[in-house]
Every structure is written in C-alpha cells, then in structure tokens.
Structure 1
Amino acid sequence: MLDTLTPHRHRLRRWLAAALAAACVTGGLTAFSTVSANAAEADEVTATQVDDPNLQYYGRWAADGDWRTMGWAGSYVESGFTGSSIGVHLRGTIDMYYSIDGAPEQWLRAVSGDVSIATGLSGGDHTVRIGFREKAGSYNGDPAFGGFIVASGSATTEIERPEGFIEFIGDSITVGQPNGDRPFTAYPWLVAEELGAGHAQVAQGGACLVSQDCYGMMDWFRRSSTWVDSDDWDFSTYQATAVVINLGTNDIGHGVSTEQFYENYIVMLERVREAYPDAQIFAMGVFRNRYVAETQSAVQVRNDAGDANVHFVDTAGWVDPATDTHDNVHPTDAGHEKIAGLLTPVLQEYL
C-alpha cells in the first residue's frame, strides 16, 4: 500500500545541519526546536502523509485535511522507521512528548512546524511514539499531526499493534491533572502499558457523568473532542477490549441527586456496551466515596440484564488524601502509581 502514497519532499539544509551538528556534540539522541522548511536549500528528507499505513493511531484523532487532530488526552501515534534520524511535521504551537525505541517519554515544549526529534541513531530499525498535551482549560495548543520526517533513503516501517486496547473515561483524575508529565504518569497510561495494551484517556477536567451544567461524559464520550457540538465519533475506528469508567467526583457540585446518578449510570453503561459490544467494562467507585452505592447498583442492573462483562471496582482505601494527593482530590505522580498498582491486577483477571 505504500506505493499508493504520494510523500512530499522538503529541502531542509538547516534542519539536517542542526541535527547532525548536535549529534556530533552529544553522540546520541537529541531533541530539537523547530526550523522553517522555507529556509532550506539542500539535502532532501521525506515527510510521510497522515494516511501512511505504517502509522498506528491510538485514541481519537479527527481528520482535518492534511492533518490529524488529537481530540482527547492520552492519544498518541506510533510508527517504525529506518535511518539515523526522525522528525515530525506539526501545524501550530504545542507541547509534544516523544519516545524513541521504547525509551521513557520526553517533552519538547512549545514547538511547531518541522521538528527534529532524534538524530545520531544507530543503523537499522527503530520505533517512534509522539503525543501532545491535551487542549483544555486555558491551554490552547494546536494538537495537529502532519506526519513523520525521515532522512532521504529511509522510510517508515510497519509496527505491531497490540491486540488489547483500553479506553479510560473520566475527569481530571483520569487525565492526570495537574501533574506536569501527564498523560504518561497518570494511572490509565501506567495500567495499559503494564498490560501491553493500546490506550486512550477520553477524559476532561471537571467532567461529570450527567450533563447538568457540566461535561457529562455519558454524552461527551460519543464525540471526537471537547470542541465539537455533535456525536461525531465513529466507534468502528477502533474497538476497545476494555473500558474503564471513573466518574462521579464532580456531579455532586452540579446538584445531581443519587437517583439521577444511578439512572444515568445505567444509560452510560448501555451506551458503552452499544459502542463496544465485546469489551469488558469496569465501573470504578470514585476515590472520594461519592455515588459509590449507585455505581455498584447500576452495574448490578446490567448484570441482571444478562451482561456479565460489566464489573464494579471497589476502590475503598486505595487513595489516602493526606499522602497520595495534592489537594485531597488529585493524585500525585506517586498516587497514580499506587492506583495503577491496584487496578492492573483487577483488569488483568479479565483481559
């Protein structure tokens, strides 16, 4: 299928010169700022297109002409590639994280345009993963991906996609806010990585279950992002093997009664089942002990209706607000590690 693509080429003397010079200085992996494609005059590199079949997208990415836009936290793109360098084509300014050959994620802050990620790599095959800080609140970065950039004579290559995919639905706790290295220090990321599964965090700070003057995820999880106004997500894009729901922390602040919560949680579970017919669904009791009985009862309703693959996760005692959170609500990085350590075996039993 690769020969059906029409890769566009940029002449990027400055990009390559800066990359090679830095590689000589460091002797290895190097991160770079952006350069202008218009400034280059020699040495060809190849930019892949966003529909390159060797690119693997995880989470919700919306088509936007020559771009793919990340709609929710924790989505990412992976590919294999050959050659000693790799870059990425971005549209507007964004905080981007990356990993080369499975190394720990690193940040490139406030970058745009054609960005060099790494140079001086050994010959042979490599892998790359990139993702963005979520567009939310006062942060208006442009999470638009335009393809990877490889050296002349190199190419993207096929990368294996895990059989499992876990979608986490929630609020700021699921995003990993306010921790600076989210999403990759948040419990959803840690759990899925430990289980060897693909993953995404369909989550928004301040979100609720119920749409009552709030981002009600019973409705919003059917959308590609928080800035669209219709249920536009096509669930055939990927099928989750597991869905983990952590909702109920914020509804109380919007006057949602226990009966409302219970009734709407049943609807939420029905909608998730409709979207992902074969998924294991896990409904977590929230760490602040709100609506826990209602959550468990909603799960029981689905079980009684014949859906044995819906499970209640009792999180009582998992989080000590005094030692595991910043503010009695949001877990620290260490708190997320603790949660991940407790949640992973729960999911592992069924996956």
Structure 2
Amino acid sequence: MKALLVALAVLLLPQPAAAQATPATVATVQATGDGSPTDANIQFAGRWNTTNAAAYVPQWAGAYLRVGFTGTTVSLKQRNTIEFWYSIDGGAYTKKSGSGTLSLTPTRLASGQHSLLVSYRIVAGSYTGDAVYQGLVLDSGASTYRLAQPAKGVEFVGDSITAGYTATNVALSSYPWIIGENLGTAHTQVALSGACLRELTAAESTRGIRCYGLEDRYTKLSFNDGSADWNFALFQPNVVVINIGTNDVGHGVTSADFLVAYQHLLQIVRERNPQAAILALRIFKGSWAPETAQAVTNRKAAGDTKVTYVDTTGWWNGSTMTDDGTHPNDYGHQVLAGYLQPIVAAALG
C-alpha cells in the first residue's frame, strides 16, 4: 500500500461517524481554562508529543483533542499550514487548511456552553505540513471547561487500511473512528500507511524498499526513526484491535517469519496493556490467516486468556468496498465497522 501523503448486517450498519462526532456530555465546569496546549480542560486522545509546552504535536493517525468552551466564537492558532478537521457541538466534520489564527465559527454560535473536537491530518510519506496544536482564541471573558471523559477506550493497530487512506476524511472516515465514535469510547489509531508487521530494510525487501514494522515501532511515541518510547500509563485501552500484514505480502515476508513476528507483537501488546482484550483480525483480503490464527493459539497456550482471533471471512467485497482494489472507500469502511463494532462492543463488556 502507498504511503499516506499522520468498534450486523449491512442493512443494520451504524451511522458513519464521518457525518457526526460523539455528542458532548456537558460536564460541570471544573476550572476555567484558556485553550492553550497545557490547559488541563483539554482531552488529548492518541499519542501526542508534549515536550514543547507551546505546541503539542499529534503522532500516528487519528489523534484528536476534545474540549468544552463558552462564548460565541472559537479560533485555532496554527503555526504553519496543515489540513485538519473540526466538529462543534457534535456536528458534521469541517475540513480546513491554513496557518495563523483560523476561525472555526464563520457564523456566531448561540451564547452558552459548546464542545469542540479537532483532528490533524497525519504528516507521513509524501504529505507534509505542520501538525501542531498551539491553542484556541475565545471571546473576551470566555473560557474552556472539561467535557465528560469516556469511561472506556479502544486502540486500533494497523497500516493504511486502519489509517483511512483514500477515505474522504482519512482517519475520521475509517472504520476505527466510526466504531469508537459510535460506541462513545476514547479511541486511537496506531497506524501508518505502508506499514508492515516486520521491520524490513531495503535489502531485506523483495521490493527493494524499506518497510516500517509495527512489531518494533508499536511501543514508540511516533513511527519516526529514533522516536522516544510511548508512556503507556497515559492510555490503557480496554480493547486493542490489530489488523496488520497486507504490506508484508508485497515485501516477500515468509510464512515462518510472519508467524514469529505476529506472536511477538501480541506478546508486546499484552505486556504494555495487561488488562486489555486483544482482537487479532484476519486481514480483510485473507492473507496470513493461518499464521495469524496460529499466533493467537500459541499465545493462548502461553496463558493469555484475553486474546481472540477474529475471522473476517466474507466481510470484504472488492467490487463495492474499494476503489483501488485494496483500500476501503467510505462505504467499505462503514461495512467493515458494521461487522466489527458488535465484536468490539462485546469485548468492552
């Protein structure tokens, strides 16, 4: 799969979250805030680099922030140009691009309490930009407040399919985002277009190009070389969904190596998330099904009782669910969400 330019039956599909964000539950104002990156009222979901207090940087795909605010207008402070999406009061996502102070309310809101969600496009592959959060600009006398925190969380691990490559709103149109929003959970996408399970140098790949391996990079703050380790204490998901392996096919990974690597990834995910239910998906086009299932069986034999193989046979229809033969289109993501959501919901308990 190309690098990205970084939970039913079809008739009973959930409404796609690309059309509507999770409705905000108004919480009691705990403390007034100014919308700066260090404002304690802001909830940062996903993996964010917070080393610069003036500019928080989202990593991987589908990281987002949520916050409540008062007043009638809100603007976002951007250092340089980047594409991002925002939703106010649970409304439709609006795509915007630019730098400087960008108004998110071309039409004034009614006076009172409101909610805001912002998600930046991931900077990876050939897509460049300045994905940083520098703060909000509110009305004079207005402030932020903390929204109710979702009680549970889901983490989705994968490649461009999990990241939403080719979907209208990219990560926000993908099946992980749809499921997370429909279930009202916190959700993250540790996903990158072009990612493999195994880390491969150009010399090791039959394609002659390197492939970032989630077996090694899952524990990192970002997918970049030399990234710091991620602090897993910041987010302990109740469910981890893994969908990885499509790119390993094209790089010439052997069956034996894939099995060892997948089993190792499951071990790492368990070590970092000791209480989570782990769902290992048969990749939608079917490759590596025996190896994925065997890795789960081996983990169970080692005493891991909360890892499950999810057989996705019959979920994929290449004639309607994709425009390029591999990546789900918007409809495809909705269909996949429809199949997977009840499984995630059951795992959440």
1:204 matches 2:192: yes
Structure 1 residues 143-169: Cα deviation after superposition (integer angstroms, max 9, x where no partner): 100112211100001111101111111
> Using the alignment, how far apart are the partners of 2:222 and 2:112 within structure 1?
37
1:241-271 CA deviation, whole Å, 9 max, x = no partner?
1111100111022221111111111110010
Aligned residue number for residue 163 of structure 2: 175
Query: Counterparts of 1:10-159 in structure 2 under 5 Å?
Result: 47-65=34-52, 66-109=54-97, 111-118=98-105, 119-159=107-147
1:334 maps onto 2:331 in alignment: yes
Letter paired with 1:55: I
Cα contact 1:60–1:224 (8 A) shared by 2:
yes
User: In structure 1, what is the Cα distance between the partners aligned to 2:311 and 2:190?
Assistant: 21
Per-residue Cα deviation, 1:165-221 (whole angstroms, up to 9, x for no partner)? 111111111111112311111000011111111111111111111112311011111
1:18 equivalent in structure 2: none
Taking the aligned partners of 1:301 and 1:196, their CA distance within structure 2 comes to 33
Summarize the alignment of residues 127-276 of structure 1 with structure 2, pairs less than 5 Å apart: 127-213=115-201, 214-276=211-273
Unmatched 5+ stretches in structure 2: 1-32, 202-210
**Counterparts of 2:104 and 2:113, CA distance in 1:** 16
In 1: Cα distance, 2:46 partner to 2:35 partner = 20
Matched position secondary structure for 2:280: strand
The range that moved more, 177-186 or 311-320, is: 177-186
Query: Would you say the 8 A contact 1:47–1:89 is kept in 2?
Result: no
Q: Is the 8 Å Cα contact of residues 238 and 276 (structure 2) preserved in structure 1? A: yes
Residue 20 of structure 1: aligned partner: none
Moved over 4 A (4+): none
Whole-Å Cα distance in 1 between the matches of residues 228 and 195 of structure 2? 17
SS at match of 1:236: helix
1:275-314 aligned at under 5 Å gives the runs 275-314=272-311
Moved more, 222-231 or 234-243: 222-231
Measured in 2, the distance between the counterparts of 1:142 and 1:148 equals 16
Quick one: distance in 1 between partners of 2:298 and 2:251? 25
Residue 220 of structure 1 contacts residue 231 of structure 1 at CA under 8 Å; is this kept in 2?
Answer: no
Question: Partner amino acid for 1:76?
Answer: Y
Q: What amino acid is the match of 1:80?
A: G
Shift of 1:230: 3.6
- Alpha-carbon contact 2:155-2:241 (below 8 Å) kept: yes
C-alpha deviation, 1:116, in angstroms: 1.1
Instruction: Compute the displacement of 1:78 (Å).
Output: 0.6
Offset, 1:231? 4.6
**Residues of 2 paired with 1:211 and 1:198: CA distance?**
29
Quick one: distance in 2 between partners of 1:124 and 1:195?
27
Shift of residue 64, structure 1, vs aligned partner: 4.0
Aligned to 2:23: none
How far apart are the structure 2 equivalents of 1:165 and 1:121? 31
Which residue is equivalent to 1:30? none
Structure 2 contact 168–330 (Cα < 8 Å) conserved: no
Which one has a bigger Cα radius of gyration?
A: 1
Provide the C-alpha distance between the structure 1 equivalents of 2:229 and 2:77, rounded to a whole number of angstroms: 26
Gap runs ≥5 in structure 1? 1-45
Per the alignment, in what secondary structure is the counterpart of residue 81 of structure 1?
A: strand
Give the 3-state SS of the residue equivalent to 1:178 in structure 2.
Answer: coil
* Count of residues paired in the alignment: 305
Distance 2:143 2:169 in 1: 30
Over aligned residues, Cα RMSD in angstroms?
A: 1.3
Give the TM-score normalised by the residue count of structure 1.
0.84
Secondary structure of the equivalent of 2:91?
Answer: coil
- For residues 228 and 237 of structure 1, the distance between their equivalents in structure 2, rounded to whole angstroms, comes to 22
